Amino acid sequence: MNDLLLDVRGLRTAFHTAAGAWPAVDGVDLTLRRGEILGLVGESGSGKSVTGFSLLGLIDPPGEIVAGEVRFDGTDLRTLTEEQMRHLRGNRIAMIFQDPLMTLNPVLRIGEQMMEAILTHENVSRESALARCRDALGMVGIASPESRLQSYPHEFSGGMRQRVAIAIAMLNHPDLIIADEPTTALDVTIQGQILYRMQEICKTQNTALIWITHDLGVVAELADRVAVMYAGRIVETGPVADILESPRHPYTLGLLQSMPRMTKPGQRLQQINGMAPSLSSRPLGCAFQPRCTHAVASCAEQLPPITTEGTRSFRCHAPVERTVWPA
Ligand SMILES: Nc1ncnc2c1ncn2[C@@H]1O[C@H](COP(=O)(O)OP(=O)(O)OP(=O)(O)O)[C@@H](O)[C@H]1O
Ligand SMILES: [Mg+2]
């Protein structure tokens, strides 16, 4: 069996405005093996959600996927019809949103929604579908699944609702889950429990996961690999341990230095000066250059090519030396 599940090449998604077409995702390459967990991390507006939605073919005007290939299990999803994509979504690829109410219908009992999620895609008996619903709720740590199937979404707490949304995503044993900041609104204890469950489920069921977050701490706990996004591009990617131990892109280093959990006790936190550029004001060359303390002359003029070092890569003319971090 081919281990490579997702192979994205040169993905470009633009938003059309009166002033022109602005690329929110600007030539993204991503690969994911079966069962692998990728953390997609970056500041607000860097294009993480647009990347996730692009993979699922869920970009509506004024947005448009203008270039690239999204090869999933050997098929370029951009060549599929809307009908074929609908079949894939919720079946082989599932999405979990920050707000579980984007998944859950407030006026239907949880059981009805879960049953529908199965029966839309598969011709199985109600008994076996019901058993799968109970299993899925149990898997995300919901006690008494039998009786909880009778509840409405508002009868659950925020954390429990998110678990239900995760259970629904898992129902049809997808090959890939794309999770867009699903634990950001939850307290750290519940977030930790959910991360633990997701990791366990992905590893035991060989489900690949893209976890979108602005929090490198979450990536450190959960992911096998990380892709750091800045202004629509992936600026650094590789195994989590390598990237956190010795970031090569100054932006990745900046993210690490600004995180309380990543610095040593008593060490001063630093911040990345300045703001991420808006879509319409992205500079030529490296988009991070105006904020970068490592920048050299070519950074403002030329987009850095991708440099590959073993299993990791980065886009930078003046990479961080390996000895810089941790300070
Ligand atoms: N419907 C839209 N119309 C116009 N521009 C959009 C639209 N959706 C997203 N964008 C722009 O695309 C860029 C990337 O947005 P995206 O939502 O992917 O960021 P993000 O990394 O997910 O940020 P956050 O962490 O805040 O969720 C932003 O500049 C945003 O303004
Ligand atoms: Mg987002």
94, pLDDT greater than 60: yes
Question: Is 146 inside a domain boundary?
Answer: no
46, pLDDT greater than 70: yes
Out of 25, 49, 228, mutate this one to test ligand 1's pocket (max ligand atoms within 8 Å of CB): namely 49
Looking at residue 225, its pLDDT comes to: 98
Residues 240-275 have pLDDT tens digits of: 999 999 999 999 999 999 988 777 788 888 889 999
State the CB neighbour count (10 A cutoff) for residue 322. 11
Domain of 66, in residue numbers: 4-92+174-315
pLDDT-derived band at 71, boundaries 50, 70, 90: very high
Q: 54 C-alpha vs ligand 2 centroid, how far in Å?
A: 12
Looking at residue 90, its pLDDT comes to: 83
Q: Which residue minimizes the CA distance to atom 27 of ligand 1? A: 44
Q: Which two tokens stand for residue 72?
A: 């999933």
Looking at residue 279, its pLDDT comes to: 87
Residues 115-147 have pLDDT tens digits of: 999 999 899 999 999 999 999 998 888 999 999
1, pLDDT greater than 70: no
Total domain count, the chain: 1
Looking at residues 202-228, what average pLDDT do you find?
A: 96
Rounded CA-CA distance 318/324 in Å is: 13
Looking at residue 27, its pLDDT comes to: 97
pLDDT-derived band at 230, boundaries 50, 70, 90: very high
Looking at residues 297-316, what average pLDDT do you find?
A: 97
322, pLDDT greater than 70: yes
Q: Which two tokens stand for residue 277?
A: 């550029």
Residue 227 · residue 30 · CB < 8 Å: yes
> Looking at the CA of 64, which ligand is closest?
1
Q: 58 C-alpha vs ligand 2 centroid, how far in Å?
A: 14
Question: Is 49 inside a domain boundary?
Answer: yes
Out of 50, 102, 218, mutate this one to test ligand 1's pocket (max ligand atoms within 8 Å of CB): namely 50
Q: 101 C-alpha vs ligand 2 centroid, how far in Å?
A: 16
Question: Is 139 inside a domain boundary?
Answer: no
Looking at residues 309-327, what average pLDDT do you find?
A: 89
Domain with residue 285: its CATH number is 3.40.50.300
Looking at residues 25-48, what average pLDDT do you find?
A: 97
Q: Which residue minimizes the CA distance to atom 18 of ligand 1? A: 47
Looking at residues 182-195, what average pLDDT do you find?
A: 87
- All residues with CB under 5 Å from ion ligand 2: 49
pLDDT-derived band at 2, boundaries 50, 70, 90: low
Residues in a beta bridge with 88: none
Question: Is 150 inside a domain boundary?
Answer: no
pLDDT-derived band at 327, boundaries 50, 70, 90: low
190, pLDDT greater than 90: no
Long-range contacts of 57-60 (CB under 8 A, 24+ apart): 57/82, 57/85, 57/89, 58/89, 59/13
Looking at residue 141, its pLDDT comes to: 87
pLDDT-derived band at 32, boundaries 50, 70, 90: very high
Looking at residues 187-206, what average pLDDT do you find?
A: 90
Question: Is 76 inside a domain boundary?
Answer: yes
Question: Is 156 inside a domain boundary?
Answer: no
278, pLDDT greater than 80: yes
Q: 127 C-alpha vs ligand 2 centroid, how far in Å?
A: 38
pLDDT-derived band at 56, boundaries 50, 70, 90: very high
Q: Please, what is the average pLDDT of the chain?
A: 93
Residues near ligand 1 (Cβ within 6 A)? 15, 24, 42, 44-50, 62-63, 214, 279
Q: 44 C-alpha vs ligand 2 centroid, how far in Å?
A: 7
